[in-house]
């Protein structure tokens, strides 16, 4: 591209600065809030009166992953990112599925780290494979990492994720700190009756280890469509509990589009954040756009439509043509999502396909 292209602005005055890039839809976990395909997941939802259509399993079943020919190559991903950065994108986060299932991910990280204009190159992972790849990713240019940690109890961790992997995640957190991938963020999706009793323990773990812990409300993005609003623990409820237990100090937002309301501990390191897309939506300042592993652009996590870049990437389109397409797509970004409203329709694709 010759010079910077016009910014990615929508019709509501928001300018996109954050690009989430899914590198695979595959995952080695079966989290109850994403791919709830284990006996324990089915039993939990049945006990709450929710229909669970999946056949009971207590081993991972074969999921309908995308054919490899449909997945963007590293060269194609790099090209989209480079064009997007030319349109003002500054932050890039690699997601999945589980991104570490993509072979040679450190090669992509190195490619992206070389793009001038990216101020933050991060990754979200379940942490199971990070001990094998952490050093290579850091050397390639990864700057930050976020891990999923929904429980500190091994049995409950397995119930939630379908995998006996707590030890690996804890090892990953320690390694990320050792590698200087600071701040190390940890995400916990809180579900009533499942792990809400662990909130204070998770917060204490963050304080003891200097982590940035994010409590996330349970969202309707699971493959079996078993989400129930009654299972959402509102962030206000969580905050009241945390303030009763810890001496917290509000942290000023880093920017208007920040998704988490944050607090620091007055008596120790670490930080707590509350992300409340269900009870306190933050759509008004959203500056994110998503690229799925098969080349679709999503302007909202809950978009019902997608915009396919793959024909352009594989059909000889120029960089200015790609930029123009991105600008047109973003212009039509939804004003907000409609979770909890009568007209809400859950997206056809799950979080593992969309990329968080």
Q: Which residue has the higher pLDDT, 302 or 114?
A: 114
Specify the CATH class of 18-354 in words: alpha beta
Using CA atoms in the order 99, 102, 106, 109, what is the torsion angle rounded to 10 degrees?
A: -60
Note the pLDDT tens digit of each residue in 139-173. Answer: 999 999 999 999 999 999 999 999 999 999 999 99
Give the Cα separation of 31 and 97 in Å (integer). 11
What token pair was written down for 269? 């390191």
Q: Is the pTM of this model over 0.95?
A: no
Coil, strand, or helix at residue 116?
coil
Nearest Cα neighbor of 301 from 228, 231, 351, 234 is: 351
Give the Cα separation of 326 and 82 in Å (integer). 12
Note the pLDDT tens digit of each residue in 168-197. Answer: 999 999 999 999 999 999 999 999 999 999
Note the pLDDT tens digit of each residue in 317-341. Answer: 999 999 999 999 999 998 877 576 6
| 183 cis-preceded (ω within 30 degrees of 0) | yes
If pLDDT is split at 50, 70 and 90, which confidence band does 69 have?
very high
């Amino acid at each position: 591209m010759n010079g910077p292209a016009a910014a990615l602005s929508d019709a509501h005055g928001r300018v996109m600065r954050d690009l989430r890039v899914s590198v695979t839809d595959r995952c080695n976990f079966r989290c109850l809030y994403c791919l709830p395909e284990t006996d324990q997941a089915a039993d939990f939802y049945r006990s709450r009166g929710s229909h669970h259509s999946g056949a009971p399993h207590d081993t991972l079943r074969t999921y309908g992953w995308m054919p490899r020919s449909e997945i963007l190559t590293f060269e194609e991903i790099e090209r989209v990112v480079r064009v997007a950065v030319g349109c003002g994108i500054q932050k890039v986060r690699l997601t999945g599925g589980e991104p570490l299932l993509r072979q040679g991910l450190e090669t992509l990280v190195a490619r992206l780290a070389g793009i001038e204009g990216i101020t933050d190159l991060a990754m979200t992972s379940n942490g199971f494979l990070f001990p094998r790849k952490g050093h290579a990713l850091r050397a390639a240019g990864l700057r930050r990492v976020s891990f999923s940690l929904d429980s500190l109890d091994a049995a409950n961790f397995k119930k939630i994720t379908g995998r006996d992997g707590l030890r690996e995640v804890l090892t990953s957190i320690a390694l990320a700190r050792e590698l200087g991938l600071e701040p190390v963020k940890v995400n916990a999706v809180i579900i009533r009756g499942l792990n809400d009793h662990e909130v204070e323990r998770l917060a204490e773990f963050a304080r003891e280890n200097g982590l940035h812990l994010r409590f996330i409300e349970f969202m309707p993005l699971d493959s079996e469509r078993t989400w129930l609003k009654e299972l959402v623990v509102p962030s206000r409820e969580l905050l009241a509990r945390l303030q009763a237990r810890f001496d917290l100090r509000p942290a000023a937002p880093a920017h208007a589009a920040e998704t988490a309301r944050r607090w620091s501990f007055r008596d120790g390191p670490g930080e707590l954040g509350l992300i409340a897309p269900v009870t306190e939506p933050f759509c008004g300042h959203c500056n994110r756009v998503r690229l799925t592993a098969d080349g679709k652009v999503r302007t909202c996590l809950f978009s019902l439509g997608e915009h396919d870049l793959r024909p352009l990437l594989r059909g000889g389109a120029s960089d200015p043509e790609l930029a123009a397409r991105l600008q047109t797509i973003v212009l039509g970004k939804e004003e907000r999502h409609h979770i909890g409203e009568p007209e809400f329709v859950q997206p056809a694709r799950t979080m593992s396909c969309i990329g968080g």
